[in-house]
Amino acid sequence: MKRQLLIYGSGRHTVPFLDYMAKATGKINPNICFIPTASGDDEEYIKRFYEVCNHLKVQPHILRVWINSYDQKQSFEEIITSMDAIVVGGGNTLNMLAIWKAQEIDKALRKAYTKGVVMGGGSAGSLCWTNGGTTDSRPKNLSIVKCLAFLDKSHCPHYNSEPTRRPLYHKNILEGKLSDGYACDDRSAIHFINEEVHTSISLDSENHSYYVFKNEGEIVEQKIESVILK
């Protein structure tokens, strides 16, 4: 089975990105599951997911973590592995990863990924799949968080919308605190197949994705040519 990831810069739900993810499954009416752990299972965020899915040929599902065993009879692994696509929302990356580890959701996601379930998301939902990046999940300053490393590269979301993200990402790569990796503007995304770049997509001509690395003590930022979604 081919392994697929779709990472994008912003955690907002958009019809084009979710439609792209749905089509990547190869299914006519795929089951797509939103995991809003990073936002504390925020109900407005969940409502927006359903609103977007109303415009798509998909079967929407939600995986909540604030549950109890009296009401929920399926395990997290059973839910995750029964899906065709998983989309992770934005919010607090650090807290999300801690909950996933405690509940073994991280293991279920990896199992599903290796079996061909399409994974994706934006902000915390894009950062989580990589080996790490900077996060606002701790007090005071952006700090480094280590993630699941399905893709063994670093990542920077919100590349064009938060002024401190880009220079800090460069600094951390130069200092060896982060590996080389991929950055996405808010309205841009990268589709990986088997951990290799397949396509870069964007919602307009102003948002881009980049491969960022160190070469002879300098940062190199390679723009990945994008297909603009209509």
CA gap 34, 199 in Å, rounded:
23
End-to-end CA distance of the chain: 29
- State the catalytic residue, choosing from 39, 123, 188, 202: 123
- State the catalytic residue, choosing from 13, 61, 155, 158: 158
CA gap 187, 44 in Å, rounded:
21
Catalytic residue flag (residue 155) = no
CATH number of the CATH domain containing 51:
3.40.50.880
Task: Say what the pLDDT of residue 141 is.
Answer: 80
Catalytic residue flag (residue 123) = yes
Mean pLDDT over residues 28-56, rounded? 97
CA gap 143, 182 in Å, rounded:
17
Q: How many domains does the chain have?
A: 1
Q: Does the predicted model carry a pTM greater than 0.85?
A: yes
The answer on pLDDT for 230 being more than 80 is no
Amino acid at 186: D
Residue labelled with tokens 């359903």: 50
Place 78 in a pLDDT band, splitting at 50, 70 and 90. Answer: very high
Instruction: Go through 162-176 and write b for each residue having 16 or more CB atoms within 10 A of its CB, e for each that does not.
Output: beebbebbbebbeee
| Residue-range definition of the domain harbouring residue 185 | 4-228
Q: Mean pLDDT over all residues of the chain?
A: 96
Mean pLDDT over residues 99-113, rounded? 98
Q: pLDDT tens for residues 121-158?
A: 999 999 999 999 988 888 888 889 999 999 999 999 99
